[in-house]
């Protein structure tokens, strides 16, 4: 079947409510001068390459349409690309135009769970339709699973500024959702990309929260959206840190509002609640309550800094107790513990919390 005939059949499998026109490909086809529903797709591919190093990388292009972005990524040096789309005609066109692997598939949780690991995943213009079809909970669960399959995710969706999109989220709403529901530590808001009439929110997500941390002698990984697991190295130091964290988390089980809940422990790992996004502010009430809870148990955390405070939507949660001690215990492991939020006169959690609060406030004023 020729490209022109395939183009005429496009749109038979569009999402309910989609503004895609029958007979018009979603992406443009520059080398055939065929304008698509989303024009400038080749420019969008080049823009991705400006923000993400694709040379020598294995890339999964979800919602690839007729393969225009996939082709651009290949031209920019990607070593392997797999393009996936649910539209048979679009994939048929892509297979005729480009020497790239393409496949027809419904993009679901089951599908992504069977995929291997990719260096980069490009997921464009589909999140909003997944929300419409399956609901927000399904969509964010899919997003979380997808984040475990790559080192970098290029995430694009339409917000409520695009009247054609079924997603009532602003640019400001989407960033916290990505922080809370993915494994990435670095999420860059690259601003809206668009053709004027329908801008898209594009985020570059990097550095999964699955890594070996030499300070904590542990592997820290997200098990799901609400739980993390710390796997400790089988050494005297590793076992001591594991036991120390279990001990202190157990002390807070009766008042878990501002502290993680210990969910399970094993000889090699512990699992604890981990729900929230990095705190951007510490309310005074939370600051006072955290200090009171620590003082009541005569505990000094010793490593209070912005990275160890989460915001779960209602209050701040203080995490990471592997280096905590009871008052009077002078045990230490490395000289820079708690820096640069440590008091010049020793470990003082109130000093560290207030300095952290000041730094967060300072960052908010700059932005």
* pLDDT tens string 288-339: 999 999 999 999 998 898 888 988 888 899 998 988 989 877 665 554 577 7
In this prediction the pTM is: 0.62
Confidence of residue 17 (pLDDT cuts 50, 70, 90): very low
Residue 22's pLDDT band (cuts 50, 70, 90) = low
Reduce the secondary structure of the chain to three states and give it as a string: CCHHHHHHHCCCCCCCCCCCCCCCCCECEHHHCECCCECCHHHHHHHHHHHCCCCCCEEEEECCCCCHHHHHHHHCCCCEEEEEECCHHHHHHHHHHCCCEEEECCCCHHHHHCCCCEEEEEEECCHHHHHHHHCHHHHHHHHHHHHCCEEEEEEEECCCCCCCCCCCCCHHHHHHHHHHHCCEEEEEEEEEECCCCCCEEEEEEEEECCEEECCCCEEEEEEECCEEEEEECCCHHHHHHHHHHHHHHHHCCCCHHHCCCEEEECCCEEEEECCCEECCCCCHHHHHHHHHHHHHCCEECCCCCHHHEEECCCCEEECCCCCCEECCCCCCCCCCCCCCCCECCECCHHHHHHHHHHHHHHHHHHC
Pick the CATH number of 3-208 from 3.20.20.70, 3.30.70.1450, 3.40.50.150, 3.90.230.10: 3.40.50.150
- Look at the domain 211-366 and name its fold: Transferase(Phosphotransferase); domain 1 (1.10.510)
Question: What is the rounded average pLDDT for all residues in the chain?
Answer: 80
pLDDT at 152: 94
* pLDDT higher than threshold 90 for residue 123: yes
Domain ranges of the chain: 3-208, 211-366
């Amino acid at each position: 079947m020729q490209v022109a005939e395939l183009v005429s059949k496009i749109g038979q499998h569009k999402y309910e409510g989609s503004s895609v026109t029958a007979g018009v490909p979603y992406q443009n086809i520059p080398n055939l001068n065929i304008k698509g529903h989303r024009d400038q797709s080749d420019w969008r591919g080049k823009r991705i390459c400006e923000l993400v190093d694709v040379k020598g990388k294995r890339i999964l292009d979800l919602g690839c349409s007729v393969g225009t972005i996939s082709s651009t990524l290949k031209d920019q040096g990607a070593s392997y690309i797999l393009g996936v789309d649910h539209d048979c005609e679009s994939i048929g066109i892509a297979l005729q135009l480009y020497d790239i692997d393409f496949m027809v598939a419904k993009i679901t949780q089951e599908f992504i769970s069977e995929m291997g690991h990719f260096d980069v995943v490009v997921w464009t213009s589909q999140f909003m339709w997944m929300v419409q079809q399956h609901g927000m909970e399904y969509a964010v669960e899919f997003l979380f699973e997808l984040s475990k399959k790559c080192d970098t995710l290029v995430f694009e969706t339409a917000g409520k500024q695009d009247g054609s999109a079924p997603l009532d989220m602003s640019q400001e709403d989407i960033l916290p959702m990505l922080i809370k529901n993915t494994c990435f530590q670095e999420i860059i808001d690259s601003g809206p990309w668009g053709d004027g009439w329908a801008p898209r929110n594009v985020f570059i997500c990097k550095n999964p929260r699955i890594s070996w941390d030499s300070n904590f002698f542990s592997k820290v990984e997200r098990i799901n959206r609400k739980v993390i697991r710390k796997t400790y190295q089988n050494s005297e130091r590793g076992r001591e840190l594991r036991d120390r964290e279990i001990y202190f988390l157990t002390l807070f089980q009766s008042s878990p509002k501002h502290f993680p809940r210990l969910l399970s422990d094993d000889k090699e790992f512990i699992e604890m609640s981990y729900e929230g996004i990095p705190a951007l502010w510490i309310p005074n009430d939370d600051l006072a309550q955290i200090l009171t809870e620590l003082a009541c148990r005569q505990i000094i955390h010793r490593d209070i800094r912005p990275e160890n405070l989460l915001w779960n939507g209602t209050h701040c949660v203080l995490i990471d107790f592997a280096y905590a001690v009871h008052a009077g215990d002078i045990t230490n492991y490395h000289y820079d513990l708690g820096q640069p939020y440590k008091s010049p006169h020793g470990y003082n959690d109130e000093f560290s919390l207030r300095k952290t609060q000041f730094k967060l406030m300072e960052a908010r004023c700059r932005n």
